[in-house]
Chains A and B, each alone.
Chain A
């Protein structure tokens, strides 16, 4: 059954008319300008600017080709998100694979990892294959399902990790995200078990009893606001335990959404010991602090909570020096009734896909902490490596898969919640004027975004897909 489905989709993909794309005078990773030619899903040629124009090169525009003036643009490998909530199946009122894929493409992503805390939970081969197939049908980004570590995220019984790994979805990242695998024995077994298929456990580090009914970072602000505090140690204690477990069983460990300065110190120490640990930070933890909670506006309620300026500075430094390997969005759409309410009643989480690159530019590029090559590493190369997604995060070189994003580093973007492509509107950046605009995204040589507008890549299975969805961002 699944093989039949695969081959059908494979056929439709092969059947798409392949366009040749020429990008003139673009700057790969912010470096020297070149002309890029994309053909047959690959980077076909890289020449010095203008060199191809009079050469009669066959890959240069003819019928069905696109030429792009890249003279104001930077090219990066297509972004890869290790941590996305697409909400389907179960909460299609908040997001679907299609709407989340649109947000991803417009944000410059060519691959996303869809978290497992759906309803039903992605803890079987059936559910992960469903999500994987929905992603293929949407056709805008490669959707790689994350498998749950434990059945129903119960933290007790290992899910059929091997079946998910062997499925058409080829799952390599496993996480109970939203919940911590807090039982040390279960965590140990999971770390060991996934070695058989080169998997990784992505831990949501949150000691549950220290964070019962916790609402925000425990600090000076929570004390004044009377909101139940979420101590940094609840995150750090689990990370400390898990790096030691990973060392003991020689396994690979990934830490989701690191949010505290103390966590950074522990990870830095673990890496110095040679422990095979990687870590991610979200864009919002690089930019926002717990001071936002003084508004009691639940758009700032997120798990892990926004921390202090000291933490933000430590996270930025750690991302710059590589202690934190990747930026992951933790894109978490929520229906309006779950956010337009009292703080304590609201759901945790915020949108992230479509704003990630701008927020990272604000936090890391504008501050001079990183260059575009480093951004490419943290948002594409490293996440693809951790997720074992081999055709993404590749160098911009001839013969490599043409998964690319073009961005205008000189443009600015004002965020309008209602205009974002996501089905939900819970962005914490409403009204902010942020640097950078994503202008083009290419998935295997085919544009998914042209001139900051979505291109309909859907198959006939998504007749509702509306390409007129790019009003989210003003420049």
Chain B
């Protein structure tokens, strides 16, 4: 494993499978009466969140705590950052406090990369979402969820097809998923209006379509992306209604999916916009399970980046 997790591209095929296998082992802990392992006892994990986030921050916090790490939560609001402190100075502070790992969510693409490589800190850096760049642990939990449902919970995702729909241009989830799912052998198709696809998307390891209906019939997974409120009214598409009509996953479209196909969403959802409420709550939806899997996957990442060489679960009987 690398020392940092900044991009899904940092993970080789074997690294990615190792994270998923480790997460599967660690998931078992969640079923125990005492959901805690001593693995990272005495290590300090800082959650450095420059953007509002509920599920990702809580997920990382739960993951670190289940591994017995000391967790420091640092959010930009109400901190020195709101007084104009630079990322560098915040980083130097965290370094002085002895952070072994910094989990960073930042509104600027590349901020985790700077934190890892600008010689500000010495600990591991985990990207918990940076601007419109990447969100690698989201891709890992998505891969974990897909593997569980469609691959018997083992190995990689060889040959599975995944359709990712929506605002790819601004989506860090889409970027990380394209990279990771491709690494794991899946076939990814991005579906979006042309305005919401990045320049150069044809060079990415995936297929691209402007038409949702023709993409649904044979897919194993459909992943809907959130349409950010601020995109509406910026001429990316004419109206919410037109977007929803052309790219929303409603009941009619969900019925076109193969029997075994699952519906995913990284959340938070705009019910009625990119996904109909009945589909979000329907039998194919694994949205809630994605959240649960997020904790296991983040435990695995923290363990593999920080935990050293002992088996993750082996420490249980200590």
A residues contacting B by CB (< 8 A) are 215, 218-229, 231, 295-297, 337, 340-345
Contacts and interface: CB of A to CB of B under 8 A. Distances in A.
Contacts of A343: 108-111, 114
Contacts of A340: 88, 118
26 contacts: A218-B199, A222-B198, A222-B199, A222-B200, A223-B198, A223-B199, A223-B203, A225-B109, A226-B109, A226-B131, A226-B172, A227-B110, A227-B132, A227-B133, A229-B199, A231-B199, A297-B118, A337-B86, A341-B114, A342-B108, A342-B114, A343-B109, A343-B111, A343-B114, A344-B111, A344-B131
Given A226-B130, A297-B114, 15 more contacts: A219-B199, A220-B199, A222-B198, A223-B199, A223-B200, A223-B201, A224-B200, A225-B110, A226-B133, A227-B131, A295-B113, A341-B86, A342-B108, A343-B109, A344-B131
Nearest to B9: A224
A342 B108 CA distance: 7
A220 B203 contact: yes
Q: Give the interface centre of A220, A222, A224, A297 by most chain B CB atoms within 10 Å.
A: A224
Contacts of A223: 198-201, 203-204
Given A220-B200, A342-B106, A296 B131 contact: no
Contacts of B187: none
B156 interface: no
Contacts of B117: 295-297
Interface in B170-184: 172, 175
Contacts of B87: 341-342, 345
B158 to A, nearest CB: 24
Contacts of A227: 109-110, 131-133
A220 B204 CA distance: 9
A335 B274 CA distance: 45
B132 to A, nearest CB: 4
Chain B's interface size range is 20 to 34
B134 interface: yes
Given A226-B130, A344-B108, A296 B113 contact: yes
A108 to B, nearest CB: 33
A343 B88 CA distance: 12
A345 B85 CA distance: 12
Contacts of B109: 215, 225-227, 296, 343-344
B111 A224 contact: no
Interface string B191-207: 00000001111011000
Interface in B94-124: 106, 108-111, 113-114, 117-118
B117 to A, nearest CB: 7
Interface in B254-287: none
A286 to B, nearest CB: 23
Contacts of A226: 109-110, 130-134, 172, 175
Nearest to B169: A223
A294 to B, nearest CB: 9
A296 B110 CA distance: 6
A211 to B, nearest CB: 14
Contacts of B113: 295-296
A220 B117 CA distance: 23
Contact of A341 (B88, B133, B201, B204): B88
B175 A224 contact: yes
Contacts of B108: 342-345
Contacts of B118: 297, 340
B200 A219 contact: yes
Contacts of A342: 87, 106, 108, 110-111, 114
Contacts of B88: 337, 340-341
A222 B106 CA distance: 18
Contacts of A222: 198-200
A221 B199 CA distance: 9
Q: Give the interface centre of A215, A218, A222, A342 by most chain B CB atoms within 10 Å.
A: A342
Considering the complex of A and B, which 8 residue pairs feature the smallest CB-CB distances, nearest first? A226-B133, A296-B110, A220-B200, A223-B198, A226-B132, A226-B109, A344-B108, A223-B200
Interface in B222-280: none
Contacts of A225: 109-110, 133
A219 B201 CA distance: 9
Nearest to B172: A226
A228 B131 CA distance: 10
Interface in B133-154: 133-134
Q: Give the interface centre of B86, B109, B200 by most chain A CB atoms within 10 Å.
A: B109
A228 B234 CA distance: 15
Interface string B64-89: 00000000000000000000001110
A100 to B, nearest CB: 26
Contacts of B106: 342
A130 to B, nearest CB: 31
A295 B131 CA distance: 16
Contacts of B203: 220, 223
Q: Give the interface centre of A222, A225, A231 by most chain B CB atoms within 10 Å.
A: A225
A228 B109 CA distance: 9
Q: Give the interface centre of B87, B113, B114, B117 by most chain A CB atoms within 10 Å.
A: B114
A341 B118 CA distance: 9
A118 to B, nearest CB: 24
A218 B108 CA distance: 17
B138 to A, nearest CB: 14
Nearest to B6: A296
B114 to A, nearest CB: 5
A229 B198 CA distance: 9
Contacts of A219: 199-200
Nearest to B201: A223
A337 B85 CA distance: 11
A401 B65 CA distance: 75
B258 to A, nearest CB: 31
A236 to B, nearest CB: 15
A387 B109 CA distance: 40
Nearest to B131: A226
A340 B115 CA distance: 11
Nearest to B113: A296
Q: Give the interface centre of B108, B130, B133 by most chain A CB atoms within 10 Å.
A: B108
A221 B133 CA distance: 11
Contacts of A297: 114, 117-118
A220 B200 CA distance: 4
Contacts of B110: 225-227, 296, 342-344
A219 B131 CA distance: 18
Contacts of B130: 226
A83 to B, nearest CB: 28
A95 B129 CA distance: 37
Contacts of A295: 113, 117
Nearest to B170: A226
A345 B88 CA distance: 12
Nearest to B119: A340
A218 B110 CA distance: 16
Nearest to B106: A342
A340 B134 CA distance: 22
